[in-house]
Amino acid sequence: MTNKITQVTLKNGMKVMLKEIHTAPIISSWVWYRVGSKDEPTGKTGISHWTEHMQFKGTKKFPANILDKAISREGGRWNASTSHDSTRYFETMPADKIDLALRLEADRMKNSNYHEKEVASERTVIISEREGHENEPMFRLTEVVQNTAFHVHPYHHEIIGDMADLHTITRDDLYKHYRTYYVPNNAVLAMAGDFETRSMLKRVKELFEGIPKGATPPRLARPEPEQKGEVRLSVEGPGETTFIQVAYRFPNATHPDYFPLQVLDSLLGGVSGLSYKTSRLYRALVDKEYAVDVSGWSEATVDPYLYRITITNHPKRKPEEAIAALDAEIQNIQNDLVSDDEIKRSVKQARAVFAYSSENITNQAFWMGYTEMFSSYEWFTTYLDKLAMVTPQDVQRVARKYFQPKSRVIGTYIPNGTEA
C-alpha cells in the first residue's frame, strides 16, 4: 500500500486530499466538517446529528427523493455519521459516476432545504432512533457514565442528544447550525480511488472553489477540571445480565502519551478487528470466570476523552469480584514491565489490521479525512513506526499515570429481572 497523497487548500479555505488507487474501478469521496457533539451547548444537544439527517432532505437542484435514487441508481453507496468532533458524508461510486457525488456535496454545502415539515418528520425519526438506543442496557449505562465523567466539557452528552432537546430544537436552530459550521473553511474533502489527480483536482476546484468562505466557526472552550476521586454509580433496568463499565481518562490523539496507551490498550483488551482471547483482561476476567466478556475501547479525539473497559458480568459472580480482578490485572501492568515481545506482537497485530483495511477503498479515503480532524494524515502514515518505538518503560509509565482509581468512573447496570 502506498501512502502518497496530494493535499491542496483551495482559495476559500477548503482542504482537498487526493489519493490515487488503481485496483478497482471505484472512487470513494468523503466530505468532513469540523463540527460534532462537542460544539453543542446545553439545550441544543444532538443538533449536529440532526443537522446531518437534514442534509439528506435535498436542495433545490437535488430534491430529496431524487437525491438518494440518483446515487443508488449508479450502484453507489452513501451515508453519513456524526461523532464528538466531526460530521462526515461519503459516497463510494463506480469511478465513472463520481461526478454526481461531487456535484451533490458541493451543492449541499450551502443550498440544503430546511423545510419546517421535514424538520417535524425528522424530529420523530430521531426520537425513534434514540428510543431504539434506550432499549439497550449498554446504551443506558454508557450514557450515564459519560454524563458523570464530564460535568463541564461538552463531551458530557451522547451524540444523539438529550430527549428534552430533541423535543425543543427548532428549524431555525438547525438552519443556523448548518450555516455556521458548513462553510468550506471548516471542511475537508478526501477522495481515494481510480482517478487521475490533476484532472480530479481541476474538477474539484470547478465545483467547490466558488463557495464563499464563511466566518470562522465558534468553539466552546470548556475544559474538564481534574477529577478528585473515584465515582461509582448504578443504573437499573430490565434483564438478567449485569454490565460494568469502567472509564479512565485518556489524552487527546496528538498527545505524546497516546501511542504508548495504544500499545497498552492492545495488551489489555486486544486490537480492534481481531479476536482478543489472549488479551490480559480476557485471561484475567473471562478465563477465570469473573466475566463472560470484557473489552476495552478508546477513541482518537480532539480533546481528552475516555478509555472504557466494558465487562459482561458472570451470572455467578458479584460485580465487585470482577472489578477486583480488573484492578489486580491493572496493578500487574503497573508493577511489572511488559516484555519487548509483547510490544512486537502488538505492532504485528496493528500491521495486519492495516493490511486488511487497505483492501477497501472506502476505508482508505476515510482515514485521510478522519486523521485530518484531529491531526494530519501523517498521524496515520507514521502510526506503525510510532507504535514500534514504544518501550516497556513507556507502557509502565502511562499505565501508572492514567489508570488511577481517583480519576475513574465505574458504572454498573443492575438488572431488575425479566418481568416488571
Partner 1 sequence: MAKRITKPVKPSLPGPDDIYRVTLSNGIAVLARSSFDSPSISMGGYLPAGAIFETNEKLGLADFVSSSLMRGTQTRTFDAIYNELESVGASMGFDSGVHNVSFGGRALVEDIPLMLTLLSESLQSPIFPSDEVEKLRAQLLTGLAIRAQDTSDVAAMAFDRMLFNDHPYGRPSDGFVETIQSITRKDMEEFHRLHFGPRGMVIVIVGAIEPEKAVEEVERVLGGWQVPGQVDAPALPPHKPVKKTVRHHHTLPGKSQSDLVIGMIGPGRKDPEYLPASLGNSVLGQFGMMGRIGDVVREKSGLAYYASSGLNAGTGPGSWEVSAGVNPRNLKKAIGLIENELRKFIKSGVTKEELADSQANYIGRLPLSLESNNGVASAMINIERYELGLDYYQRYEGLVRAVTRADVLETARKYIDPDRLVIATAGP
Residues 298-317 that bind partner 1 (CB under 8 A): 312, 314-316
Binding window for partner 1 (CB under 8 A); candidates: 73-81, 168-176, 214-222, 376-384:
73-81
**Stretch binding partner 1 (CB under 8 A), from 16-24, 40-48, 225-233, 377-385:** 16-24
CA atoms within 13 A on the CB side of 300: 18
Binding mask 21-60 for partner 1 (x = CB under 8 A): -xxxxxx----------------------------x----
Which lies closer to partner 1 via its Cβ, residue 145 or residue 204?
204
What grid cell was written down for 77? 453507496
The only residue of 100, 144, 233, 384 in contact with partner 1, by rule CB under 8 A: 100
Nearest-approach distance from CB 226 to partner 1, in angstroms: 35
Stretch in the footprint of partner 1 (CB under 8 A) among 20-28, 249-257, 374-382, 391-399: 20-28
The strands making up 15-20's β-sheet, listed across from edge to edge, are 6-9, 15-20, 187-193, 26-33, 87-94, 77-82
Taking CB under 8 A as the criterion, the residue among 270, 296, 319, 369 binding partner 1 is 270
Is residue 334 exposed (0-12), middle (13-18) or buried (19+ Cβ within 10 Å)? Answer: middle
- Residue 4 or 418: the one with the smaller Cβ distance to partner 1 is 418
Distance CA 24, CA 96 (A): 12
Judged by beta carbon, residue 306 or residue 338, the one nearer partner 1 is 338
Q: What is the C-alpha to C-alpha distance for residues 155 and 50, in angstroms, rounded to an integer?
A: 17
Taking residues 229 to 258 in sequence order and writing x for each that binds partner 1 by CB under 8 A, - otherwise, the string is --------xxxxx-----------------
Give 206-220 as a DSSP string.
HHHTTSPP-PPPP--
What cell does 117 get? Answer: 415539515
Name the nearest CA neighbour of 50 among 175, 220, 153, 214: 175
Among 42, 24, 44, smallest CA distance to 96 is for 24
For residue 348 the three cell numbers come to: 504485528
Binding range to partner 1, per CB under 8 A, among 96-104, 171-179, 218-226, 395-403: 96-104
CA–CA gap between residue 84 and residue 105 (Å, rounded): 22
Interacting residue with partner 1 among 359, 378, 385, 389 (CB under 8 A): 359
Which of 75, 210, 256, 405 is close enough to bind partner 1 by CB under 8 A?
Answer: 75
Task: Copy the grid coordinates of residue 343.
Answer: 510490544
Enter the DSSP assignment of 63: B
Are 363 and 357 in contact by the 8 Å Cβ rule? The answer is: yes
- The yes or no reply on residue 94 touching partner 1 (CB under 8 A) is yes
Query: How many residues of this chain interact with partner 1, rule: CB under 8 A?
Result: 92
The residue within the footprint of partner 1, chosen from 77, 151, 255, 318 (CB under 8 A), is 77
**What is the Cα 264 distance to its own chain's centre?**
20
Q: Which is nearer to partner 1, 133 or 401 (CB)?
A: 133
Which of 7, 68, 213, 252 binds partner 1 (CB under 8 A)? It is 68
Q: Give the footprint of partner 1 on residues 180-219 (CB under 8 A).
A: 194-196, 199-200, 202-203
Query: Considering only residues 9, 43, 63, 96, which one is a binding residue for partner 1 as defined by CB under 8 A?
Result: 96
Q: Which of residues 105-164 bind partner 1 (CB under 8 A)?
A: 120-129, 131-132, 134-135, 137
CB of 184 to partner 1, least distance (A): 20
Distance in angstroms (rounded) separating the CA atoms of residues 169 and 127: 12
Give the 3-state secondary structure percentages of the chain, helix then strand then coil, rounded to 5.
Answer: 45, 20, 35
Distance CA 420, CA 412 (A): 20
Cell numbers at 366, concatenated: 476515510
